[in-house]
Chains A and B, each alone.
Chain A
């Protein structure tokens, strides 16, 4: 990928939480890149660190959590030396970070209703964001706010502008939040499960809206979700996360046609698909996601993995290996050197 097409590079990011009971390695070595105008899907189950990754990029991780290692290189700003800015090194409270947050990179969350302040009108929350990042007068900011509400497809935007969040439905609240996030035309939108709390018909509306606006504004997106169907619809590239680590990175088509990591394969098999009733039992992943304080040694997925190789997977941690076709997989099954060294026989490749 040419340097100019890159918007964000995350390299070996580690965000740990230093709780009294021990260290929780919520994000433990995450690498990915986001290209301009493209969508990166981050897929994973609860506790895999996908949300903390999003918070880390915006430097919104609260103590006892802290970024302990890694780089978050943002290429959207053209400084004097034309170099990327490492967000991991910025102070979360610095004015630079505050202007990036909302102005350059915006975020929308799962529960729109809890993310909006119940005691302020929709309009005043919109104007707050607009006036913070742009030097506009009150009337101009209001006109822009109403225009944003119109663009996210809310009926009667002038009236909605003066309403409180409780007067709107869940889908409308999510549209308001999208309007706030996009009001300063960010170059990157981080969407953290934006439709999980919505019904399917509303979900389809909101996803279509996000996609249309992305095209219109030419922005990049990091789309965090656990839903395979939603990620198939939204993403160009996908990273699959398990217990704080990226286990597989590939383009969306290859993931669904030919997943390589045993976890991704198991995930794809365990979900019932509409229109394919067979009457058979579902294939399951045995066990459950371990507690983040008791991450197993070696490959973190090995206790649940159907193709685990005793003596290798439970001892050493696999590295993220490049495979053909621009894909990366963190699994010993594809590491010929490790297989030779350990001299294990693999029946199931």
Chain B
């Protein structure tokens, strides 16, 4: 597949693979391999949000780690368009290049309690990236931290407090302020609202959208919550057992999916409406990424599977401009999106 390189895209991932060896015994002999990420294609346009969805263990978090250079990549390309340094392939970058790239892309994690050092004040936490990269010091540093806290809606008076004095939502705001410190162009947000209360989730989602508008940020928004992803994303990538199975604009994914797994995911989302049709239940379990089934990984659970699916692994094909599907039957199947669900009653 060739995802046409658009000049506006800030991140392009081509056939990314990350395999972890399984070793055993005294000599650490390799006995198997976990194909955590095994063929991911993605393109994040500048200033836009791409949602990355899939069930636990499908490799969405590992994809994020590979982009940030947290773990060496097995194969594939991660092209990052650095605002000053131009295009660079993070899959092959050395540590000096990587640390430059990391100034322009930052990460926000799921649990704000474990991503903030409890012994550092809010000032120290938010100032750390600025100090490490020697961007600012003294009164300029203080001013920048105040500005960042203002951006995320926190009062600068609280700067000398420790993380325990803040609520979960406020802590996630601190994490976002730290991520913004170096003026990144891309933020990889790994389940940023999953650990928050329902009434606080909406505040953080609105904050992320406001920041995108004012600062022109691009997001790779990793989540298992399809309702949240639909709300915030411009396009959505669906992963299953390490592979990208579908990638398309949000409206297309949710209303005209082409992969049976995407449809199954959409149909299994609980809907806040007591009159909605009962959810369609997908049978079986997610296969292990150590011993995936032959052919298409989804064929044992797929209601449409034919002989070919059990034997030949499907390639990612472009069924319409910007709509990529990894399915042998992509052109034939008529699948239903969320439009078929009864949503008329609830407010």
Which residues from chain A sit less than 8 Å from chain B, CB to CB?
A: 45-46, 169-172, 199-205, 207-208, 226-230, 232-233, 252-253, 255-257, 266-277, 281-285, 288-289
Determine if A273 and B227 form an interchain contact, defined as CB atoms under 8 angstroms apart. yes
A233 near B270 with CB under 8 A, answer: yes
In this complex, what residue of B is CB-closest to A48? B197
The one of A171, A257, A272, A284 in contact with B227, judged by C-beta atoms closer than 8 angstroms, is A272
- Which residues of chain B from 307 to 347 have a CB within 8 Å of any chain A CB? 337-339, 341, 343, 345-347
Closest A residue, CB atoms, query B209: A281
Q: Which of B224, B272, B275, B281 contacts A208 (CB 8 A)?
A: B281
The distance from the CB of B249 to the nearest CB of chain A, in whole angstroms, is: 11
Which chain A positions have C-beta within 8 A of B167? 288-289
Give 12 A-B pairs besides A200-B268, A232-B274 with Cβ atoms closer than 8 angstroms.
Answer: A172-B285, A199-B224, A202-B285, A207-B270, A228-B272, A273-B227, A274-B254, A274-B266, A274-B343, A275-B341, A275-B343, A289-B200
Bound Cα distance from A177 to B198, whole angstroms: 27
Which of B198, B202, B265 is in CB contact (< 8 Å) with A45? B198
With A and B bound together, what is the CA distance between A299 and B56 in angstroms? 40
Complex: how many Å from CA A314 to CA B198?
A: 24
Interface string of B234-268 (1 = CB under 8 A from A): 00000000000000001100110000000011101
Q: Is B14 an interface residue (CB 8 A)?
A: no
| Contact call B268/A201, Cβ cutoff below 8 A | yes
User: Which residues in chain B, 71-115, are within 8 Å of chain A measured between CB atoms?
Assistant: none
B135 close to A (CB within 8 Å): no
In angstroms, how far is the closest chain B Cβ from the Cβ of A154?
A: 11
**A204 and chain B: residue at smallest CB distance:** B268
Contacts of A204 in B (CB 8 A): 268, 270, 279-282
Q: A272-B230, A274-B271 are in contact. Are A288 and B200 (CB under 8 A)?
A: yes
| Min distance, Cβ B266 to any Cβ of chain A, angstroms | 7
Chain A contacts for B279, CB-based, 8 A: 204, 207-208, 233
Question: Which of A199, A266, A282, A284 is the one whose CB lies under 8 Å from B286?
Answer: A199
The answer to whether B269 touches A200 (Cβ under 8 A) is yes
Bound together, the chains give a CA A274 to CA B265 distance in angstroms of 12
Q: Does B226 contact A (CB under 8 A)?
A: yes
Tell whether, in the assembled complex, residue B203 and residue A284 are in contact, meaning their CB atoms are under 8 Å apart: yes
Report yes or no: A45 in contact with B199, Cβ–Cβ below 8 A: yes
Which residues does chain B contribute within 8 Å of A202, judged by CB atoms? Answer: 55, 285
Q: Is B273 an interface residue (CB 8 A)?
A: yes
State the CA gap A194–B109 with chains docked (Å). Answer: 25
| A201 pairs with B282, CB closer than 8 A | yes
Q: Check if B265 sits within 8 Å of A270, measured CB to CB.
A: no
Q: Which residues of B contact A271 (CB under 8 A)?
A: 198, 201-202, 227, 272
Query: Which residues on the A side are within 8 Å of B270 (C-beta)?
Result: 200, 203-204, 207, 227, 229-230, 232-233
In Å, the complex CA distance between A169 and B255 comes to 31
B120 at the binding interface (Cβ < 8 Å): no
A275 & B231 in contact (Cβ 8 Å cutoff): no
A-B contact pairs, 12 of them (CB 8 A): A172-B285, A200-B270, A205-B283, A208-B281, A268-B272, A268-B347, A273-B343, A281-B209, A282-B202, A284-B202, A288-B167, A289-B197
